[in-house]
Structure 1
Amino acid sequence: MWYEIILRFALSVFVGGLIGYEREYQNRPAGFITHILVCVGAAIIAMIQNQLVQDSINLTLMYPQLANSLKIDSGRIISQVVSGVGFLGAGAIIHNKGSVTGLTTAATLWVVACIGIACGMGYYFLSITSTIGVYCVLVVLKKVKFRIQDKISNKEV
């Protein structure tokens, strides 16, 4: 059991750090450490949620008469993380003189929280695949975006 906790924690540090590294490299407001902390926090909440469900099952098995009174919503705490991180992401969005910046950073904070939940729930393949996908979007598709913007700006001239 303890090795699962360590594995989930380590994976959340790694995947949050990888995405945070890209944001740090781009000199964005929420970088390496922020993304790690968001991912780890989400993983911790997911592990707590798992444990609460397991504790409820164990109590029901020990005391069958409690079966009708013990209810647990397996997504309740996790849903609070998803909405709470939205608030954190809103702080990364800056409105300055008609332009808005920080939307990508806000989105990466939210997606890192979701990946952290996947780590905490023990969905390793989903965690790793999601991280690779997000990293590719941030690094590879950014180049595609700049090419599209260049074509649009050249067309207007």
Structure 2
Amino acid sequence: MSIDARLSELGITLPNAAAPVASYVPVVVHNDVAYISGQLPFIDGTLVTGTLGEDVSLERGTAAARACGLMILAQLVNAQIPLDRVARIVKLGAFVSSASSFSDQPKVANGASELMFDVFGESGRHARSAVGVPVLPLHAAVEVDAIIALHPA
């Protein structure tokens, strides 16, 4: 089954790829590895902002991480990389805007991780970091970046 068919089966429509907010490119491909810059969470076109453990619930944070994962896929498509070229999700890095007492960053990051498992199956299983930080760009609640191995073009 193609990845586009799998997305359709899951009822997933990718968002429009967000433009960079500073001086970088969203995707760099080198030696059949795609490096995806940190993606912010947009749900229904609105940036999810706030701090986990203060004004953002665990459920909202997990949904935000999933939205970051969707944006990672959207950035690949925007860079003219067909999702069927994905050989393996190698690593996700999740950054969670967190109150000092919040320690469920791995649960938040599961939003992006489980999306990759659902879409790519075993090829979606990956290494991961889940880090709590005091603030993220634009006061986003979550940011996720990725390293993705590609089948040769």
Alignment TM-score, normalising by the size of structure 2 = 0.34
Specify which structure has the bigger relative contact order, considering alpha-carbon pairs within 8 angstroms and separated by 6 or more residues: 2
Instruction: Specify which structure has the higher proportion of strand.
Output: 2
Considering fraction of residues, name the structure with more helix.
1
